[in-house]
Amino acid sequence: MARHVVARSGEIPEGGRTIVNIGGLPIGIFNIDGEYFAILNRCPHQGAPLCEGHLWPGLLVSSEPGDYTNRAEVPIISCIWHGWEFDLRTGQSVCDPQRLRVRNYDVKVEAAGTDGFNLHATTYAVEELGGVIVVDLDRRPSTGEAAKLSHLLGARSNGGNEATDREMVP
Amino acid sequence: MVTIIERTVSQTAALVRPALIDCDLHNELHGDVWALVPYLPERWRRHVETFGVRSPSGGFYPRFMDHRADARPPSGRRAGSDVDFVREDYLDRCRVAYAILNPLSPAASQTNLELGAALATACNDWQVAEWLDREPRLRASIAVAIEAPDLAVAEIRRRARDTRFVQVLFTGRPQEPMGRRKYWPIYEACEDLGLKVASHAFGSYGNPVTGAGWPSFYLEDHVGPAQAMQANIISLVTEGVFERFPGLQVISVENGFAWLPSLCWRLDAAWSLLRDEVPHLSLAPSEYVHRHVWATTQPMEEPHHPHQFAEMLDHLGPLVDRIVFASDYPHWDADQPDEAFPVRLGVEQARKFYYANAATLYGFDSKSC
Amino acid sequence: MTGNHDSETSHGTMARARTLVDADVHAVVPSTQSLFPYLSAHWRDHVTNTLMKGVVETAYPRFAPTTSRTGLDAPNGPPAGSSLEALQRDVLDCDEVEYAILCCTYQVDSLHNPDAAVAFSSAANDWLAAEWLDQDPRLRAGIVVPVHYPELAAREIDRVGGHPGFVQANLPARTTFPLGSRINSPIWDAIARNDLVAAIHFGGAPGTPPTPSGWSSYYLEDYAGMAHVVQSQLVSLITEGTLEAHPGVKVAVLEAGFTWIGPFLWRFDKEWRNLRRLVPWVRRPPSAYLRDHFRFTIQPLDAPDRNDHLLQAIDQIGSEHVLMYSSDYPHRHASDPDRLLNIVPAQLADRIRADNAKALYGLP
């Protein structure tokens, strides 16, 4: 059963979060300005409880040294341990959006033995339906936002940061 | 609002693997120097209350955080300052057999050297009363005022009878490079008493973190200890410290370790041409490093391609048996024991990094449990 | 085990058919008096009639075994590296070098008097132009700048930057403030507007200690330690966003070794992932900036004994465009650069021999 009711509407106030356990999967449900997001409570780096991390008011970008511009349209959670930032909508790492733009969640691209660097957190589709909040474990949110994140960061070429991903086992 | 149903940090690995030795655990001063004031004699208590503590200024960088937010105890005390919570949250949960405490006290950086020595004594008394006597798995570094070697030696000799003190703590950036003659009395005492010397990253006596002046951002300050420790190892080797004190063992703490192979290659190449300048050296520099230097793992270097990590382990040569695990708990940049290595280690190699190498270093029982 | 050839004994193993660009040879100012034609009467008089005898040279002790190949430096003769004829004989003609980049490490930064620092910088550059660049079309050079006075350094770069022989500005590894500091912005602006490369070279005389723990005792420490100073400069340039502000600028790193690059980047990339929010203008991993903007000369070779380890260290750099051949003439080294060129794949060897330097300096 992929769809799970995790809370009643209103149980998670705006700006709030709750961490639930769905069949052994710990998942954080966030309410950002009335929009819900679901993300696995595990940082892909060292397994920290990511959902206990800090919610930033947006993505911090810069046009030049000394400029600090906040893009409030991108909800960012940073890991409780090392501070790695993730786009709450997609699980994309702020540190490597280029590579993740081409990543397809539906296909396992990694062969055994090519384990390497994993820089994305796992997110799930979540919606409010008939007075309850429902998480769908089989669906990922659209990755169309990925390009937008890299655009906002203003990254140019990827400069040879050709990491391979270690398959994450939640 | 945060509702936590359960803590989901991976614990399965800790339950099935042998207990580990953590070579860098921080016992934090709740309230900074005020935690030590009760342990100071009246003369210095009055001094601190009146004038405070004074270190060379100029090393502050704005940053986010000191500690892992989940390491803050329910008591509301500073993370790492509550031995009961450290026991539960870290020593038990991560199956730690021994942990070496590195107190980052203000002792080493005081411009008033006598105050520094008094704070060192107070810090060590505090460690005994509030840490070592309360948790048998803990061992500790001796806090000393390294810039006053005579006073440091007195404190070292005072503590050496308590075998729970295993090493003497240097800051990462002493006033002079670590090999300089000034510090030899400290090394002489350590060799005599069978104590190690640990150089812990950060902490300075007024020198910038680079050989090229003060950088601007905390990111630079936080990368810098790897460079600072290279300079200290170059100094220790070149000055002939290991020639003079053949029993001395030096541990680089919280500097990473992947820079060691290239440093050895560079030193050997330089020495092959410049050895006439240092006739007191009877061995190639890398030989001294291989025999006298140890390094803790954290912050672990993480290559994008894990096979390069394996290459680096190979490049370490004999030094690979001198790499010892450290978490740096409860600091924000701590490594989680079972997730720290960017490669999957074989059982035997894991046993060495997590336990056997450190057991050899400190003379702990060689079998983990 | 193939290491430890003595460089003065093993010329000639390189394939002659291929072009060679030597990205680091030295032009040494033989004496203060040799700059008299390029100094004003005021400063000539100073040198002749006061205690001021010119700059203080400390980076390369005159008779240290690393400073010159055997036989090049007689006690009463001019210092090694001060003769164009010797450079032509020993390097340009001998190795059939197509281009060589001169590095003059004249320590004008040892002069705290800003007017003296500028006067001796200008004199050194005019001497380089007249007595080296204009005498041999194979030569290019870096501009000597008073790096400790950024506005004055920028002015000197603008003064001579139009000379076609000057292809880069020489910045010492050791500085009062890290090179990426905003204090140094005028220098980077000048480098960019003159379409020059920035060269970070061994040495520097800022008067501040060469290590994060104060002054070291031995030259060996400074010699082996220059790599960690250069590492700090890379951290500065990337973290401060110097290359974001000047995306067209490239940096040549001379005589700092290169086998440390991979492990250095593993740590630096990790720290950036941790702390990016403090410096949001650093948009890409530090390793990406390094591969796009930085080039390293290969001599002195900080190589392990085992060739497979050396090849792995080269692979860890992650780009074939980073290394550049150099002889570092007249300095003496523990290993011959041919050792490296002979073990890397042919295409990479070609890039190291010539292609990377030609691309960096826009050489035809």
Q: Which domains does chain A have, with CATH numbers?
A: 3-153 (2.102.10.10)
What pLDDT does A117 receive?
Answer: 58
What pLDDT does A145 receive?
Answer: 53
What pLDDT does B13 receive?
Answer: 67
Chain C residues in contact with B255 (beta carbon < 8 A): none
Cβ-defined contact of C211 to B231 (cutoff 8 Å): yes
Q: What is the CATH number of domain C18-361?
A: 3.20.20.140
What pLDDT does C12 receive?
Answer: 41
- Say which of A66, A94, A160 has its CB closest to residue C288: A160
State whether residue C202 is helix, strand or coil: coil
Cβ-defined contact of C266 to B276 (cutoff 8 Å): no
What pLDDT does C22 receive?
Answer: 98
- List the chains bordering chain A where 3 or more Cβ pairs fall under 8 Å: B, C
User: Which pLDDT band holds residue C185 (cuts at 50, 70, 90)?
Assistant: very high
Bridge partners, C71 (sequence order): none
What pLDDT does C317 receive?
Answer: 97
- List the chains bordering chain C where 3 or more Cβ pairs fall under 8 Å: A, B
Q: Is the pLDDT of residue B1 over 80?
A: no
What value does the mean pLDDT take over residues A79-91? 91
Q: Does A152 contact C at CB distance below 8 Å?
A: no
Per the model's pLDDT, the better-predicted residue between A144 and B130 turns out to be: B130
Cβ atoms < 10 Å from Cβ of C311: 17
Q: Is the pLDDT of residue B7 over 50?
A: no
User: Which pLDDT band holds residue A92 (cuts at 50, 70, 90)?
Assistant: confident
Which residue in this structure is represented by tokens 């893009």?
A: A71
Chain A: residue whose CA lies nearest to B302 = A117
What pLDDT does A167 receive?
Answer: 26
Q: Which residues of B206-223 are buried (b: 16+ CB within 10 A; e: fewer)?
A: ebbbbbbbbbbbbbbbbb
Q: Which residues contact C217 (CB under 8 A, 6 or more apart)?
A: B177, B179, B180, B235, B238, B239
User: Which pLDDT band holds residue A107 (cuts at 50, 70, 90)?
Assistant: very low
pLDDT digits (tens, 9 = 90+) for B312-333: 999 999 999 999 999 999 999 9
Q: Extract the tokens encoding C34.
A: 């040799």
Chain A residues in contact with B339 (beta carbon < 8 A): 45-47
Q: Which residues of B43-75 are buried (b: 16+ CB within 10 A; e: fewer)?
A: ebbebbeeeebebeeebeeebeeebbbbbbbee
Sheet holding B20-25, edge to edge: B20-25, B96-101, B138-142, B165-173, B196-204, B250-253, B293-296, B323-324
pLDDT digits (tens, 9 = 90+) for B344-353: 888 999 999 9
| Interface TM-score (ipTM) > 0.90 | yes
Locate the domains of chain C by residue range. 18-361
What pLDDT does A169 receive?
Answer: 24
User: Which pLDDT band holds residue B366 (cuts at 50, 70, 90)?
Assistant: confident
Q: Is the pLDDT of residue B157 over 50?
A: yes
Chain B residues in contact with A45 (beta carbon < 8 A): 339
Q: B244 vs B53, B80, B226, B278, C272, CA distance in Å?
A: 35, 38, 26, 13, 41
Answer yes or no: are the C-beta atoms of A50 and A39 closer than 8 Å: yes
Cβ-defined contact of B301 to C303 (cutoff 8 Å): no
- Say which of B63, B212, B230 has its CB closest to residue C175: B212
Report the C-alpha gap between B148 and B142 in whole angstroms: 14
What pLDDT does A147 receive?
Answer: 54
**pTM attached to this predicted model:** 0.93
pLDDT above 70 as % of chain A: 72
What value does the mean pLDDT take over residues B123-128? 98
What pLDDT does A115 receive?
Answer: 36
User: Which pLDDT band holds residue A140 (cuts at 50, 70, 90)?
Assistant: confident
pLDDT digits (tens, 9 = 90+) for B175-215: 999 999 999 999 999 999 999 999 999 988 889 999 999 99
pLDDT above 90 as % of chain B: 87
Kindly report which listed range (A9-18, C158-167, C289-298) carries the lowest average pLDDT score.
Answer: A9-18
What pLDDT does A104 receive?
Answer: 25
Report the C-alpha gap between C177 and B276 in whole angstroms: 33
What pLDDT does B279 receive?
Answer: 98
Interface mutation target, options C266, C269, C277, C278, chain A, most CBs of A under 10 Å? C277
Q: Is the pLDDT of residue A81 over 90?
A: yes
Q: Is the pLDDT of residue A24 over 90?
A: no
Q: What is the CATH number of domain B21-362?
A: 3.20.20.140
Q: A142 vs A103, A104, A164, A168, CA distance in Å?
A: 12, 11, 22, 19
Report the C-alpha gap between B212 and C178 in whole angstroms: 5
Report the C-alpha gap between C234 and C257 in whole angstroms: 13
Q: Is the pLDDT of residue C7 over 50?
A: no
What pLDDT does B11 receive?
Answer: 53
pLDDT digits (tens, 9 = 90+) for C190-247: 999 999 999 999 999 999 999 999 999 999 999 999 999 999 999 999 999 999 999 9
Q: Is the pLDDT of residue C13 over 50?
A: no
Locate the domains of chain B by residue range. 21-362
pLDDT digits (tens, 9 = 90+) for B35-90: 999 999 999 999 999 999 999 876 789 888 889 989 999 999 999 999 999 999 99
What pLDDT does A139 receive?
Answer: 84
User: Which pLDDT band holds residue A2 (cuts at 50, 70, 90)?
Assistant: confident
Bridge partners, A37 (sequence order): A30
Cβ-defined contact of A116 to B304 (cutoff 8 Å): yes
Q: Is the pLDDT of residue C2 over 60?
A: no
| Phi, psi values for residue A124, rounded to 5° | -130, 155
Tell me, what amino acid is at C83? S
* Burial bucket for residue C70 (CB in 10 Å: 0-12, 13-18, 19+): exposed
Average pLDDT, chain B: 94
Report the C-alpha gap between B21 and B166 in whole angstroms: 13
